[in-house]
């Protein structure tokens, strides 16, 4: 009985911790889709860069050695730097690769996004950048269990990770629903040309969206590598899988729907971990994919939908 | 004084030549209307003026400054607001948020509040529904919101695209009364309409468009009497 | 000049894309024999291997053109379908050899002979060759079935959903195949295991090894030309032409309604079939197949051929397949940068020449040959 409860709570904790990170990534997909109506394939690569930039920082600050305990602010510092750097990368990607294609057929934008994704992966893997072999993220937090629920450890990393993710999402929620800029973002997402008639600088809003989405992705990448310290090389398929799950989260939540993406992320995290714990570990990636197919078949607008009429 | 001047304006949509050398002038303080059949190019003129599309040739001058190549948000800053065809309401935002967006570029909260009061006076219905999602408004209410929203940008020239489209006859009367009122308060108006009867009644000057070119123009009252216009656009036999 | 008429309501059945007369088959057979008996001995083993890779890439690129070029959809699942087809075919020949011949070495004729075939004292065809052909077809059909399952839900939606679903599909296939049971190698055990059970023993994370050798220049070029014929017929069908003219105009595509979905699904299923066949051919050339090596990078290799060649140009895809197979051999010294260069090429191409080198035109419809082709009423020239 106790063992069963322990498994349940361990699964729940892990599902929530990882799900909140999926949610962070899903937000980037959903925001870009909401405005530009295309799947930003390169978004998962921003997650990768976030993780790797964080790793390089942690290593260069000397936390890679076992006896150099990181000060409490190290993680925060690394988080902010990684978010800023990836925000800048997101900005550059939008300006250089996507902006020239405004108004181009969707397929071309999609191909460009795939090109950008490949470019980021394979450039990141070059020997003078991050290299093509996995690395180990130094631990920035003491490995102390905060509390145990029926024998299931709630570790500091999980709490900090999920807590940061929730804080960021609350911040984003405020930005989008309670600020002038957020209002402009929603307006652009609903009808770009009318938003420009209101005096909204559409290009600036799009750039800003990419910066915010990329910064959140960087945070997710960093937090993920704090939990799973083995950082895979940039072009590893595992990253693609992570991006794919986040994308499924966005679709499940109704792509373009900010709150839907948050809920969808947590749902995907729970589905993955409960499926792995109670059905089969080997097929943990398959559940998510099966859910995507089901949603596409029966509720293409997502579980929480978004009542947008496609503009002609 | 000429406020808006279009000279030899040409617009292409791909291979389609939508505007062929159109020249229009709008005097300050007036209501000028563009009438014509569907597809004659009326809306295209407004879109070119507000920067939504790029003309392939010709000049657009607003108060002596060229608008060519300027993005819509810059043009709005010069004092020129456009209520697009189909009203362009943000259905996912509340009525209040729609109005906020109308004043997006303004940084004088006090002035915005005063202008809001004016808008509420013109459209009491809008005030009643501030917290509602704009998508739930009726067609007439949406049109009122669209016009009110544009007024919050404090335009000196207001471009209105088919404000009466799809509205019940009584509402059409109201909208045109309000257009006259806005004009009386000092805003110049360039009005695109299919309802030529009403448009000619409210306008000082009118242009008749046919397949992308100006067919004739003159004082609205004169055009309303012209046989040709009566036959083609006013439904008189 | 394309007719988008109401009589297109149900569209051509898939078999309509199979050629009606034997002339294309004869041409395919002729070229395949030529490659096998004349080119191979003359060119030597390195060039022959390259020619083999080119043919496989032609199959892949042309099959992907059917989806990404003709229908305006975007599949990223080529590697997944290759894996499905390759494993299915490998299971048939490997376990089939044990079942039929009691050993992992089925009898093969001269057309399936390794190395220089001239002067080998072998019959033209043996029963093992037929098993191999059947295995390739089986691999193709299994891949086509997978294509149907994946394509049906996503093709009803917009183009980018197919991209993400096929990407996911590829990864799932990899996971599933890599968690399969180990390959059986004991003849008695194989004889005592029923077929459905055998199909779960696919080698797991080690990949499926010890596959009998069959794939020669003859078979790949035969398959390549047949792929070309089917693709060409598909493009020239009334549906294909209608699609090429409207694929970027979503309103017009909507107006075509349900029938577009049917054609899209059909194109996708046929495309999956050929990708599966290509996977089967590779498996019987390398003599092993590992899903771990058929990741999405492999799909990207094919995508870039299609995009560079022109979204919708069959000959463009063929040309790009040829060039991009040879190029890495010449640029071995900068292997690390290959994907970086490809990626940049993709991005720059979309900005500078989004329709690819040839657009939807065929090579002979461009440049100096253009006048001749214009007279014969070549399709697609006016598509934007």
Q: Which of C293, C18, C281 has its CA nearest to residue C138?
A: C281
**A295: closest CA of chain C, how far (Å):** 9
Longest C-alpha distance within chain B, in Å?
53
Strand pairing report for B157-161 and B80-83: parallel
| Residue A191 touches chain B, beta carbons under 8 Å | yes
Q: Is B159 helix (H, G, I), strand (E, B) or coil?
A: strand
| Residue A122 touches chain C, beta carbons under 8 Å | yes
| Residue C381 touches chain A, beta carbons under 8 Å | no
User: Residue C123 has what pLDDT?
Assistant: 77
Cβ neighbourhood burial of C119 (10 Å; 0-12, 13-18, 19+) = exposed
pLDDT in tens, chain B (237 residues): 899 999 999 999 877 888 999 999 999 999 999 998 888 889 999 999 999 999 999 999 999 999 988 999 999 999 999 999 988 999 989 999 999 999 999 999 999 999 999 999 999 999 999 999 999 999 899 999 999 999 999 999 999 999 998 888 999 999 999 999 999 999 999 999 988 889 999 999 999 999 889 999 999 999 888 888 888 777 765
Where residue C242 falls among pLDDT bands split at 50, 70, 90? Answer: confident
What pLDDT digit, counting tens, does each position of A76-102 carry?
999 999 999 999 999 999 999 999 988
- Backbone φ and ψ for A288, nearest 5 degrees, come out as -60, -45
User: Residue B93 has what pLDDT?
Assistant: 93
**A269: closest CA of chain C, how far (Å):** 17
User: Residue C257 has what pLDDT?
Assistant: 57
DSSP one-letter string for A195-238: HHHTT--HHHHHHHHHHHHHHHHHHHHHHHHHHS-EEPPTT-HH
* CB within 8 Å: B84 and A193: yes
**Average of per-residue pLDDT values in chain C:** 81
How many residues does this entry show for chain C?
A: 384
The count of structural domains within chain C is 1
What pLDDT digit, counting tens, does each position of C320-373 carry?
999 888 888 887 777 778 888 888 888 888 888 877 777 777 877 776 555 444
Cβ neighbourhood burial of A54 (10 Å; 0-12, 13-18, 19+) = buried
As given in the structure block, the two tokens for residue A75 are 């993680």
* CB within 8 Å: A200 and B101: yes
Q: Is the pLDDT of residue C269 over 90?
A: yes
The beta-carbon neighbor of B82 closest among A184, A190, A197 is A197
User: Residue C381 has what pLDDT?
Assistant: 35
**Average of per-residue pLDDT values in chain A:** 88
Q: Is the pLDDT of residue C255 over 70?
A: no
Buried b (16+ CB within 10 A) or exposed e, B55-91: beebebbbbeeebeebebbbbbeebbbbbbbbbbbbb
Q: Which of C76, C87, C103 has its CA nearest to residue C139?
A: C87
**A276: closest CA of chain C, how far (Å):** 14
pLDDT-wise least confident of A306-310, C30-34, C41-45, C233-237: A306-310
List of chains touching B (3+ CB pairs within 8 A): A
Report percent pLDDT > 90 for chain A.
54
| Residue C341 touches chain A, beta carbons under 8 Å | no
What pLDDT digit, counting tens, does each position of A142-166 carry?
777 778 888 888 888 889 999 999 9
Per the domain annotation, does C227 fall within a domain?
yes
| Angle at alpha carbon of residue A83, lines to A82 and A84, rounded to 5° | 90
What pLDDT digit, counting tens, does each position of A35-46 carry?
888 889 899 999
Where residue C6 falls among pLDDT bands split at 50, 70, 90? Answer: very low
Segment holding B2, helix H or strand E = strand B2-13
Q: Are A46 and A214 a contacting pair, CB within 8 Å?
A: yes
Alpha helices in B29-108 (DSSP H): 42-49, 72-77, 95-102
> What is the chain A residue with the closest CA to B50?
A197
List of chains touching A (3+ CB pairs within 8 A): B, C
| Residue A184 touches chain B, beta carbons under 8 Å | yes
User: How many other CB atoms are found less than 10 A from the CB of residue A275?
Assistant: 21
To test the contact with chain A by mutation, choose from B52, B92, B109, B131 the residue with the greatest count of A C-beta atoms within 10 A, namely B92
* DSSP letter (8 states) at residue A98: I
Per the domain annotation, does C356 fall within a domain?
no
* DSSP letter (8 states) at residue B147: H
* CB within 8 Å: A193 and B153: no
What pLDDT digit, counting tens, does each position of C297-326 carry?
788 889 888 888 888 889 999 999 998 888
* DSSP letter (8 states) at residue B194: S
As given in the structure block, the two tokens for residue C272 are 């999956």
Segment holding B206, helix H or strand E = strand B205-210
Where residue C14 falls among pLDDT bands split at 50, 70, 90? Answer: low
What pLDDT digit, counting tens, does each position of A99-144 carry?
998 888 777 888 899 899 989 999 998 988 898 888 888 888 877 7
The beta-carbon neighbor of C350 closest among A41, A112, A132 is A112
As given in the structure block, the two tokens for residue A50 are 């976030």
pLDDT-wise least confident of A287-301, B27-41, C141-155: A287-301
Chain C residues lying within 8 Å of A127, measured CB to CB: 336
* CB within 8 Å: A200 and B93: no
What is chain A's percent helix, strand, coil content, to nearest 5? Answer: 70, 5, 25
Q: Are A272 and A288 a contacting pair, CB within 8 Å?
A: yes
What pLDDT digit, counting tens, does each position of A193-211 carry?
999 999 999 999 999 999 9
User: How many other CB atoms are found less than 10 A from the CB of residue A86?
Assistant: 30
User: How many other CB atoms are found less than 10 A from the CB of residue A17?
Assistant: 25
- Taken in order A156, A159, A165, A169, is the CA torsion positive or negative? negative
User: Residue C7 has what pLDDT?
Assistant: 41
* CB within 8 Å: A114 and C340: no
Per the domain annotation, does C72 fall within a domain?
yes
* CB within 8 Å: C172 and A111: no
Cβ neighbourhood burial of C196 (10 Å; 0-12, 13-18, 19+) = exposed
User: How many other CB atoms are found less than 10 A from the CB of residue B30?
Assistant: 17
* CB within 8 Å: B84 and A199: no
Q: Is the pLDDT of residue C264 over 90?
A: no
* DSSP letter (8 states) at residue C124: S
* CB within 8 Å: C354 and A247: no
User: Residue C254 has what pLDDT?
Assistant: 59
Strands (E), A7-132: none
Cβ neighbourhood burial of C141 (10 Å; 0-12, 13-18, 19+) = middle
Per the domain annotation, does C149 fall within a domain?
yes
Angle between helices A237-252 and A258-278 (to 10 degrees): 120
**A112: closest CA of chain B, how far (Å):** 24
- Chain centroid offset of residue B118 CA: 19
Per the domain annotation, does C327 fall within a domain?
no
* DSSP letter (8 states) at residue A138: P
Per the domain annotation, does C308 fall within a domain?
no
Chain C residues lying within 8 Å of A293, measured CB to CB: 150, 153-154, 165
User: What does the alpha-carbon distance between residue C298 and residue C300 come to, in Å, rounded to a whole number?
Assistant: 5
Measured CA to CA in angstroms, residue B189 lies from B32, B48, B55, B102, C275 at distances of 6, 16, 21, 17, 62
| Residue A106 touches chain C, beta carbons under 8 Å | yes
To test the contact with chain B by mutation, choose from A186, A195, A198 the residue with the greatest count of B C-beta atoms within 10 A, namely A198
Per the domain annotation, does C61 fall within a domain?
yes
Report percent pLDDT > 90 for chain C.
24
Where residue C3 falls among pLDDT bands split at 50, 70, 90? Answer: very low
The beta-carbon neighbor of A285 closest among C74, C76, C175 is C175
Give the A:C interface size as CB pairs under 8 Å: 123
Query: Average pLDDT for residues A13-33, to the nearest whole number?
Result: 94
Hunting for tokens 């910066």 — which residue is that? Answer: A211
Chain A residues lying within 8 Å of B105, measured CB to CB: 199
* DSSP letter (8 states) at residue B167: -
Higher pLDDT: C248 or A124? It is A124
Cβ neighbourhood burial of C39 (10 Å; 0-12, 13-18, 19+) = middle
| Angle at alpha carbon of residue B137, lines to B132 and B139, rounded to 5° | 165
Q: Which of C164, C118, C126, C155 has its CA nearest to residue C243?
A: C155
User: Residue A133 has what pLDDT?
Assistant: 87
Which structural domain range is residue C179 located in? Answer: 14-294
Q: Is the pLDDT of residue A216 over 80?
A: yes
- Backbone φ and ψ for B8, nearest 5 degrees, come out as 50, 45
Q: Which of A159, A11, A147 has its CA nearest to residue A75?
A: A159
| Residue C71 touches chain A, beta carbons under 8 Å | no
* CB within 8 Å: A296 and C165: yes
Q: Are A265 and A24 a contacting pair, CB within 8 Å?
A: yes
| Angle at alpha carbon of residue C368, lines to C363 and C370, rounded to 5° | 60
The beta-carbon neighbor of A115 closest among C154, C163, C346 is C346
Chain A residues lying within 8 Å of C344, measured CB to CB: 115, 119
> What is the chain A residue with the closest CA to B107?
A180
Q: Which of C30, C37, C32 has its CA nearest to residue C115?
A: C37
């Amino acid at each position: 009985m106790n063992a069963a409860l322990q498994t349940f709570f361990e699964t729940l904790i892990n599902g929530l911790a990882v799900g909140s990170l999926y949610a962070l990534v899903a937000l980037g997909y959903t925001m870009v889709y909401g405005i530009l109506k295309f799947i930003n394939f390169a978004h998962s690569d921003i997650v990768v860069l976030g993780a790797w930039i964080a790793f390089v920082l942690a290593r260069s600050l000397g936390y890679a050695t076992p006896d150099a305990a990181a000060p409490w602010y190290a993680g925060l510092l690394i988080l902010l730097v990684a978010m800023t750097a990836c925000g800048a990368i997101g900005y550059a990607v939008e300006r250089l690769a996507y902006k020239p294609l405004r108004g181009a057929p969707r397929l071309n934008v999609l191909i460009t996004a795939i090109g950008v994704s490949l470019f980021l992966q394979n450039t990141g893997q070059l020997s003078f950048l991050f290299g093509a072999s996995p690395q180990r993220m130094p631990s920035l937090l003491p490995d102390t269990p905060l509390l145990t629920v029926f024998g299931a450890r709630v570790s500091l990393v999980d709490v900090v990770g999920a807590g940061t993710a929730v804080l960021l999402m609350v911040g984003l929620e405020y930005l989008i629903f309670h600020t002038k800029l957020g209002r402009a973002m929603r307006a652009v997402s609903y009808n770009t040309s009318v938003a420009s008639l209101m005096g909204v600088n559409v290009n600036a809003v799009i750039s800003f969206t990419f910066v915010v989405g990329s910064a959140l992705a960087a945070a997710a990448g960093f937090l993920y590598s704090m939990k799973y310290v083995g950082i895979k090389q940039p072009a590893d398929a595992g990253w693609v899988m992570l991006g794919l799950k986040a994308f499924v989260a966005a679709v499940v939540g109704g792509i373009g729907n900010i709150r839907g993406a948050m809920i969808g992320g947590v749902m995907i995290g729970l589905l993955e971990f409960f499926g792995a714990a109670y059905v089969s570990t080997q097929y943990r990636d398959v559940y998510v994919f099966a859910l995507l197919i089901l949603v596409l078949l029966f509720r293409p607008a997502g579980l929480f939908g978004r009542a947008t009429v496609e503009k002609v | 004084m000429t406020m808006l001047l279009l000279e030899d304006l040409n617009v292409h949509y791909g291979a389609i030549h939508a505007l062929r050398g159109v020249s229009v002038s709008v005097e300050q303080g007036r209501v000028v209307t563009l009438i014509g059949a569907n597809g004659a190019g009326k809306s295209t003129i407004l879109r070119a003026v507000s920067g939504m599309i790029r003309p392939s040739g010709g000049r657009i001058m607003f108060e002596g400054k060229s608008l060519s190549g300027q993005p819509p948000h810059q043009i709005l800053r010069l004092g020129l607001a456009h209520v697009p065809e189909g009203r362009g309401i943000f259905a996912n935002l509340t009525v209040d948020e729609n109005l906020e967006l109308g004043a997006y570029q303004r940084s004088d909260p006090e002035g915005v509040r005063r202008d809001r009061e004016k808008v509420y006076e013109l459209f009491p219905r809008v005030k009643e529904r501030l917290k509602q999602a704009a998508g739930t408004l009726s067609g007439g209410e949406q049109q009122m919101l669209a016009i009110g929203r544009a007024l919050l940008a404090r335009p000196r020239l207001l471009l209105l695209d088919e404000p009466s489209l799809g509205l019940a006859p009584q509402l059409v009367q109201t909208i045109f009364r309000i257009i006259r009122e806005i004009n009386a308060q000092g805003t110049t108006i360039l009005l695109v309409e299919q309802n030529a009867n009403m448009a000619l009644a409210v306008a000082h000057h009118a242009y008749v468009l046919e397949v992308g070119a100006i067919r004739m123009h003159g004082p609205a009252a004169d055009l309303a009497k012209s046989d040709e216009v009566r036959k083609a656009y006013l439904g008189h036999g | 000049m394309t007719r988008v008429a109401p009589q297109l309501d149900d569209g051509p059945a898939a078999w309509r894309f199979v050629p009606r007369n034997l002339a294309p088959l004869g041409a395919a057979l002729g070229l395949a024999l030529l490659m096998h008996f004349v080119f191979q001995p003359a060119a030597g083993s390195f060039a022959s291997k390259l020619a083999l890779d080119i043919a496989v890439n032609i199959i892949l690129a042309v099959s992907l053109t059917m989806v990404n070029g003709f229908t305006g959809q975007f599949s990223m699942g080529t590697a997944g379908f290759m894996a499905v087809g390759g494993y299915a075919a490998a299971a048939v020949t490997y376990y089939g050899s044990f079942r039929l011949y009691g050993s992992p070495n089925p009898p093969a004729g001269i057309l399936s002979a390794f190395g220089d075939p001239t002067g080998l004292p072998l019959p033209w065809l043996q029963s093992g060759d037929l098993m191999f052909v059947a295995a390739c077809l089986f691999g193709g059909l299994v891949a086509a079935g997978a294509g149907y399952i994946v394509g049906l839900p996503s093709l009803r939606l917009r183009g980018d959903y197919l991209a993400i679903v096929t990407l996911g599909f590829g990864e799932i296939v990899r996971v599933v195949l890599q968690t399969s049971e180990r390959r059986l190698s004991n003849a008695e055990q194989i004889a005592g295991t029923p077929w459905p059970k055998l199909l779960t023993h696919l080698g797991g994370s080690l990949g499926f090894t010890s596959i009998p050798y069959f794939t020669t220049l003859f078979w790949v070029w035969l398959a390549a030309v047949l792929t070309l014929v089917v693709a060409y017929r598909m493009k020239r069908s009334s549906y294909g032409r209608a699609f090429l003219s409207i694929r970027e105009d979503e309103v017009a595509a909507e107006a075509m309604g349900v029938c577009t979905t049917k054609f899209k699904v059909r194109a996708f299923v046929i495309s999956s079939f050929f990708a599966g066949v290509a996977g089967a051919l590779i498996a019987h050339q390398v003599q092993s197949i590992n899903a771990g090596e058929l990741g999405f990078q492999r799909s990207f290799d094919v995508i870039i051929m299609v995009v560079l060649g022109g979204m919708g140009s069959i000959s463009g895809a063929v040309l790009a397949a040829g060039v991009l197979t040879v190029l890495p051999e010449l640029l071995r010294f900068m292997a690390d940068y290959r994907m970086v260069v490809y990626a940049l090429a993709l991005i720059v191409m979309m900005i500078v020449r989004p329709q690819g080198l040839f657009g939807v035109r065929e090579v002979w419809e461009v440049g100096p040959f253009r006048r001749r082709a214009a007279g014969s009423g070549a399709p697609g020239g006016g598509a934007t």
